[in-house]
């Protein structure tokens, strides 16, 4: 599967298997065989073909879809060691908890909606004819403490632009974790042919605004009184960055 490619299959069984895994996030082999209605031997062969072609991988004894995103990278800052890597379905609970801990500050409402969406769906990564969604995580001792999220509809008129959110728990800030997460998200967007990435935050969140500006984002619009936070109206900063492409 090449960068930016929406799955397309020559055989219906491959499409059925992929679609079921994509809809459910992570599926055990017996459950997949039963759901699709094939015998285990046939499913094993067909899954092997999907693995060979880069559409599906196995993690923790379950199948999940593949979104090309690189490998895990370890960093050391002061006395802190952390890893930044592509997220897996098993990271969903940690990502939701991390986002909710940060959005409790009422300074990142778009991210709050992301957490509610993936928690409701129960699926972390998406790659279908309607939408594409990717996450990266920062972990300390295998616990999720930060995330980057990129999402875009699969519509021709919007196929050049993606939404991004990024955040790190307060305890782990000032170690470069947010910058590494943002870099991975932007590189993934660039490799999948997105030309622009945007992020919207309350105007009161000046720390986030400065962070994004330091990484090439510009404020393109301001929507006055867009948010109501603790009884007060707050403007929304609509920030975006154009990605350099080959």
Instruction: Tell me the pLDDT band of 1, cut-offs 50, 70 and 90.
Output: very low
pLDDT score for 124: 93
* Helix/strand/coil for 68: coil
Q: Do 242 and 188 meet the contact criterion of CB atoms below 8 Å apart?
A: no
State how far the alpha carbon of 104 is from the alpha carbons of 29, 53, 157, 214, 230, in Å.
38, 42, 34, 25, 12
pLDDT score for 75: 96
Spatial neighbors of 113 by CB under 8 A, at least 6 apart, are none
> Which structure tokens are listed for 185?
């998200």
Q: Do 56 and 65 meet the contact criterion of CB atoms below 8 Å apart?
A: yes
Residue 60 or residue 181, greater confidence = 181
**Chain centroid to CA 208: how far?**
19
Cβ-based neighbour number of residue 68 at 10 Å: 15
pLDDT score for 73: 95
pLDDT at 245 over 60: no
- Dist. CA 241–CA 198, nearest whole Å: 6
- Dist. CA 25–CA 42, nearest whole Å: 22
Query: Mind listing the pLDDT tens digit for each residue in 151-170?
Result: 987 655 556 789 999 999 99
pLDDT score for 3: 42
């Amino acid at each position: 599967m090449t960068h930016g490619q929406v799955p397309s299959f020559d055989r219906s069984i491959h499409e059925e298997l992929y679609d079921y895994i994509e809809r459910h996030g992570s599926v055990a082999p017996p459950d997949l065989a039963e759901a699709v209605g094939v015998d285990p031997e046939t499913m094993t062969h067909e899954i092997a073909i999907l693995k060979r072609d880069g559409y599906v991988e196995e993690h923790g004894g379950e199948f999940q879809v593949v979104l090309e995103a690189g490998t895990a990278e370890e960093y050391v800052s002061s006395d802190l060691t952390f890893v930044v890597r592509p997220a897996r379905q098993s990271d969903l609970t940690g990502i939701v908890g991390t986002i909710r801990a940060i959005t409790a500050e009422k300074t990142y409402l778009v991210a709050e909606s992301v957490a509610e969406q993936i928690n409701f769906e129960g699926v972390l990564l998406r790659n279908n004819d309607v939408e594409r969604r990717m996450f990266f995580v920062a972990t300390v001792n295998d616990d999720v403490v930060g995330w980057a999220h990129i999402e875009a509809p699969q519509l021709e008129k919007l196929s050049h632009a993606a939404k991004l959110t990024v955040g790190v728990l307060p305890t782990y800030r000032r170690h470069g974790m947010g910058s590494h997460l943002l870099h991975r998200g932007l590189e993934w967007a660039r490799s999948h042919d997105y030309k622009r990435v945007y992020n919207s935050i309350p105007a009161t969140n000046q720390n986030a605004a400065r962070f994004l500006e330091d990484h090439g984002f510009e404020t393109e619009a301001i929507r006055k009184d867009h948010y109501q936070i603790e009884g007060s109206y707050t403007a929304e900063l609509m920030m975006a960055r154009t990605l350099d492409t080959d």
